[in-house]
Structures are given as C-alpha cells and as structure tokens.
Chain A
Amino acid sequence: MTDKLKYYKKGLRDGIPIGLGYFAVAFTLGIMAQKNGLTPFQAMLTALLTNASAGGFAGFELMGAMAPYWQMALMQLVVNARYLLMSCALSQKLSPETSTLHRSIIAFDVTDEIFGISIAQKGYLNPFYTYGAMTVSIPGWAIGTFLGVVMGNILPLRLVSALSVGLYGMFLAIIIPPARENRIIAGIIAVSFALSFAFSFITQIPEGMRVIILTVVISLAAALLFPVKEEEDE
C-alpha cells in the first residue's frame, strides 16, 4: 500500500509540469474547437476522452469540414499511429503479472509526455506512478481546452509563447541524460534531430506521419546496427 502511494506521489510530482504544459497547449486546442463550431462542453469531452493533441486538432478540423465518419476514423488512425509503437514499448516495461485492468487504464493516457516519463522509470513500471501523472495532466488538458473555447484570446500572447516550449523541455530532460552515459544513444538522438530537420522541409508529409516514419526507420536501423545486450535492456 505504502509502495503504491509512494509511486503515486512521485507520479503526481512529475505530472505537474506536464499538466501545466497541457493547459497551455489545450488552450490553443480550445480556440481551434471554437472555430469549428464546438461548444465548450463538447470540446472538453473530446479532450477528456482522447488526451491527444494532434488527434484533437485533426478531429476538430474534420468536424468543421463535416467529413464522413470513416474519414475521421482513418485520420485518427494515421495521426495517432505513434501511440501504437509507444504502447508496444510500454508493454515491455510492465511486469508480466500486471492485470488487464491496469494495462487498460495506462493505455487510456498513453500520450507523448506520460509515455516519456513512464518509460524513463527504473526497472518495471509501477502503474501507480502513471496514475499519479494522469491525475494532474488529464484535468490540465480538459480544463485548458474548455477555457480555450470560452475565452480564447484573453491569455497574453507572451505567456502562451513561453509555455509552449515546456513540453519540449521535458522531452529533452528525458532523452539527454541517458545520452550522456551512452554514446550510441547520443548518436541516435543527433541523427534523429538531423533527419527530422531535413524532412520538415518536405511539407507534403504531415508532422504525425514524419514522426512515425522516422521513428520506425531510425529505430530499426539502430536495432540492426547496435543490438542491445540483455543487461542494458532492463
């Protein structure tokens, strides 16, 4: 019991910057929802049920365009396909005894950020760590979206600009420390930066697609060139 509480609290603490970052990003999502004719309640419900930024943006656009339902499903599949990879990686991070219920609750909030901090834990992931992070981040996302619809243009532009790098700062805090200890990881991050930059000029490839393609290609190349030894993998 105390163990669960300990991990839950740790998750809560690590989730605070995520919740704040979400709040800022969700604000812009709310503005977008309002432009496409959603009520504050509908936008907040979407945010609560999906916890997805790119998926949310794409979804609201399709609603505004009154696209057919199948197109919505297909679009969500493409835009969120990276979560499939993250979910595969997370499956290896859980003790095989972890129940389906715990797995499903974690699955509900596999976002870039929650995935990032969960995968960075030492050893097996304790689900309660992720629950702690979810407790602060999900309301941040939902309330931010709601307020974005209601009062989109009130928050000072300067503040929105500053808050918008918060999530990226967190990503750096996750990937840079291991790169310091491991030259292969450092090299892979450098290659990822370079290719991502190069491919960003090919504007025909949407960002979600670019992330998937580069993740698969670079990770596969790395796996073939530098297979991990057993002990590194733990």
Chain B
Amino acid sequence: MNNTYIYIAIMAATIFLIRALPLTLIRKKIKNRTLRSFLYYVPYVTLAVMTFPAIIHATNSIYSGILALITGIILAYFKVSLFGVSVVSCAAVFLIELLII
C-alpha cells in the first residue's frame, strides 16, 4: 500500500525543481541571438497552443466554446483588460447556453 503523503511529496518536489532550476541558475542575459529569439516567442506559442482547440471543448457545447473564442479575440484586439476579456467570455458562454441547451 503506497502512502498518499509520499506521493504528494514526490509531486511537489518534482514540480518545484522543474520550475526553480532555470529561474535560479540562469542569472545573466542570454547573449545567443537565436536562443533569445526562441525564448521571446515561447510565451506566444505556448499560450496559443494551450488555448486552441482546448477552449472549444471546455464548455458544455462546442458552439458556446467557439463563441467564447471569437468574443475573446475581438475584445482582446480592442485592448480590453485581462479581467474584462475573461468575464465577458464567461458571460457569453452562460447566456448562449441558456438559449441552446
């Protein structure tokens, strides 16, 4: 019988090391241009990949998910705040699901 707390400790330790090693070890500005460019693009690519197609499968209906995606892109394009985009996307899903489900 394995111990739940040992499992939790292993999870916590592994995850912390993954997150802490680069942040604490890389202290200088990286000089290599390709590497710098790579790290510059990482956030955009990783957030984009995580958002789509996951957003359209996150809700009870694929249509409300698509609506959330379109709503979010339009609001973000007009530079609405993080909170604004987030809340209005949720509201759009809630309202459309009242109609279609």
Binding site for B on A (CB under 8 A): 13-14, 16-17, 20-21, 38, 42, 45-46, 49-52, 55, 59, 62-63, 66-69, 72-73, 76-77, 80-92, 94, 96, 100, 103-104, 106-108, 110, 112, 115-117, 119-120, 157-159, 161-180, 185, 188-189, 192-193, 195-197, 200, 207, 210-211, 214-215, 218-220, 222-224, 226-228, 232-233
List B residues at the A interface (Cβ < 8 Å): 1-2, 4-8, 10-12, 14-16, 18-30, 33-55, 58-60, 64-65, 68-69, 71-73, 75-77, 79-91, 93-94, 97-98, 101
Set B15, B28, B65, B75: member contacting A80, Cβ < 8 A: B15
Among the interface residues A81, A84, A115, A169, which one has the most CB atoms of the partner chain B within 10 A?
Answer: A169
Among B2, B40, B81, max chain A CB count under 10 A is at B40
Are A76 and B15 neighbours in the complex by a CB distance under 8 Å? yes
A185–B42 Cα gap in the complex (Å)?
11
Q: Give Cα distance in the complex from A170 to B47, angstroms.
A: 10
CB < 8 Å neighbour of B10 from A73, A170, A173, A220: A73
Nearest-Cβ distance from residue A170 to partner chain B, whole angstroms: 5
CA distance A178 to B77 in the complex (A): 9
Looking at chain B's contact residues, the main secondary structure is helix
In the bound complex, what is the Cα–Cα distance between A189 and B76 (angstroms)? 14
Do residues A72 and B10 form an inter-chain contact, with CB atoms below 8 A? yes
Cross-chain contact B46 with A211 (CB below 8 angstroms): yes
Top 6 closest A-B pairs, CB basis?
A169-B89, A176-B76, A192-B48, A223-B37, A107-B20, A49-B12
